[in-house]
Chains A and B, each alone.
Chain A
């Protein structure tokens, strides 16, 4: 567990923005390699690890997908030695002023996002939350050095270092969704001493925050029987307390909605109940905002499910998770996988799942 926590902290200390996931992939590959039989990288850059099951061939397979890309910023211009930028993934401009970032220029440059004084801003911005195109990144370097070192389109990643707070919580950037990568890792570790008939594909997908590019492509190559997206979900916290939020540290969530196959949902639910693994239900009436949305409609379509890990302050540099939720999610995945009989899918009858409850 300490080892997994260290891997997680390493993962959330790295960039790996959408489309440029290599730094994260390298660490994940090292963590997964001893836990799987085969490992490869897709043309899009997603990491595919295969852990073979014991069932007769052709074996059914379950794909566990967690996106490894992170949100961040991209440089759009240089003005008086300061950088203009835009977002990669969804960034609320209100988190930006004072944000510590690393600009990935010809070399990595420490920098901060800065908000000019109100009187230098467009009158429409004064006293308001200042829109991204009115903010700058300052590297503390002189103008000529900035021009020499930074190019248009260079990335800037959040530089918040991981923090361990009480209640076994971890704070940092890109816990969305590297905490789910950790959950898959935990699952693979559990499976080391368990027997499972199904093949298990551990997949770290790319570009979820921008195009769902990993979710749309990996299932095509792998052609799984079932595909599960593991992603973070909204934990209750300051400013976030409505029906869309769940408790931090109260267990992973089982999604219910159009991106969740009811029969697969029920299977996870039954296992959680049977083993008394704490879980929460999450109601997702439309788009789940996860790779499941893409995976569900790849090729001729796949049965999908979404497992959520509660996370507070999503898409800020100080995202917060409880390690316990990650472990429970990993355990639930492993325990469900070992309970998938070879003919599990053949037994699915739509009539059987009436309604939830």
Chain B
């Protein structure tokens, strides 16, 4: 396929896609109970998938057949789950103790509205009035043990211990930005839905909408086994820590920056990305003049950490949409970065051939 043809076929990120992202972002799917997002994904892909099944952990495994013989079998994964809470103790009068699912800084909890259980019962995490605190007390974060989810007196019957909860943030767009609670990784989920709807004809697409990423990459591990792909791409969101540093020195540890395009992973806490795939993404990015950036090597990880060590080894790489303030009530990403992520993954798939994998790593 010619480059200008590829460019003309790149799935659009327009109003309709942002509406879908909104629906996905507002859905509640804390790791271990991804059913709401799963329902949305199933509805979106059912008319496009050649095969679809939900496996033992709740992953959605989708096959989209190629229009060529003996196509390369490409897995693309995006996780459906999000960080959140589980109610663990009912203290009566609508007050519940809770535990954190996934990584959330305690300091991000105070004063937040939350949604509890399947019926999305509104609740709040309050704090002791400032008037009753001492100056010393205010220097230390309020420990999780002292916080409660409060659903209002007399409402205890409408939710129960074991229910999941998460931040009640509603999706918005602010100028160039997408603003929502679970854009890590609903951005990836929304991108993958578009790829299922608009699959490049040269590949067999194995789309894995995974569960329990925030709980230790557990869904991706079994999805990769079942799908047995030749190569895997992971779509996620990674922190843009491109904020000023306290001493006004240059911020050399930004991880990634907003407005600099999709982030290509080379090294994170769990994966050394396959250099053949990195080079492919870079080449396509340069050729198509799609902005991209390298994620600064460091901690963190994606589903690739579980996928690349599955079976005899699966060449893997991750591509993330940069986002500020991940794992808090609000993540801010740029529309342009999402669009460029879509461009880079789509063009890279169109340009992908098995030959790339025949060369030694």
Contacts and interface: CB of A to CB of B under 8 A. Distances in A.
Interface of A: 79-80, 82, 90-100, 109-112, 114-117, 119-122, 125, 127-130, 134, 136, 138-142, 145, 160, 163-167, 169, 171, 234, 237-240, 242, 244-245, 248-249, 289, 312-318, 320, 322
Interface in B78-134: 94-95, 105, 107-108, 110-113, 122-133
Closest A-B pairs by Cβ, 6 of them: A165-B152, A313-B126, A140-B177, A166-B155, A239-B128, A140-B174
Given A93-B138, A121-B246, A163 B122 contact: yes
A139 B179 CA distance: 10
Nearest to B179: A140
B129 A315 contact: yes
A91 B150 CA distance: 21
B137 to A, nearest CB: 9
Given A160-B113, A234-B129, A117 B239 contact: yes
Interface string B299-329: 0000000000000000000000000110011
Given A97-B110, A165-B151, 13 more contacts: A92-B130, A94-B138, A100-B169, A116-B241, A116-B243, A117-B241, A120-B253, A129-B140, A136-B243, A171-B113, A313-B128, A318-B124, A320-B124
Interface of B: 94-95, 105, 107-108, 110-113, 122-133, 138-142, 146-148, 150-155, 158, 167, 169, 172, 174-177, 179, 239, 241, 243-247, 251, 253, 259, 324-325, 328-330, 332
Contacts of A238: 95, 126-128, 146-148, 150
Given A122-B246, A129-B141, A167-B94, A141 B124 contact: no
A71 to B, nearest CB: 9
Nearest to A176: B129
Given A134-B246, A140-B179, A160-B113, A110 B172 contact: yes
A119 B249 CA distance: 13
B123 A165 contact: yes
A316 B158 contact: no
A60 to B, nearest CB: 34
Contacts of A116: 241, 243-244, 246
Contacts, number: 202
B155 to A, nearest CB: 3
Secondary structure of the A side of the interface?
Answer: loop
B144 to A, nearest CB: 11
B325 A114 contact: yes
A112 B193 CA distance: 29
A240 B132 contact: yes
A115 B246 CA distance: 12
B110 A95 contact: yes
Contacts of A93: 138
Contact of A169 (B130, B152, B251): B152
Given A165-B123, A239-B127, A312-B126, A122 B132 contact: no
A128 B15 CA distance: 41
Contacts of B324: 114, 138
Interface centre among A119, A120, A140, A312 (most CB of B within 10 A): A140
Contacts of B111: 95-96, 98-99, 313, 316-318
Contacts of A115: 105, 107-108, 328
B110 A316 contact: yes
A90 B131 contact: yes
A129 B126 contact: no
Nearest to B147: A238
A110 B330 CA distance: 12
Given A120-B246, A166-B154, A167-B94, A98 B124 contact: no
A165 B127 contact: no
B326 to A, nearest CB: 10
B244 A94 contact: no
A129 B131 contact: no
A325 B328 CA distance: 34
Nearest to B114: A318
19 contacts: A82-B243, A94-B141, A97-B108, A110-B179, A112-B330, A120-B245, A120-B246, A120-B253, A121-B246, A122-B246, A136-B244, A138-B325, A141-B176, A145-B175, A160-B113, A234-B131, A242-B132, A289-B131, A318-B111
Given A120-B243, A166-B152, A98 B112 contact: yes
Given A120-B245, A121-B246, A312-B126, A163 B113 contact: yes
A100 B153 contact: no
B128 A129 contact: no
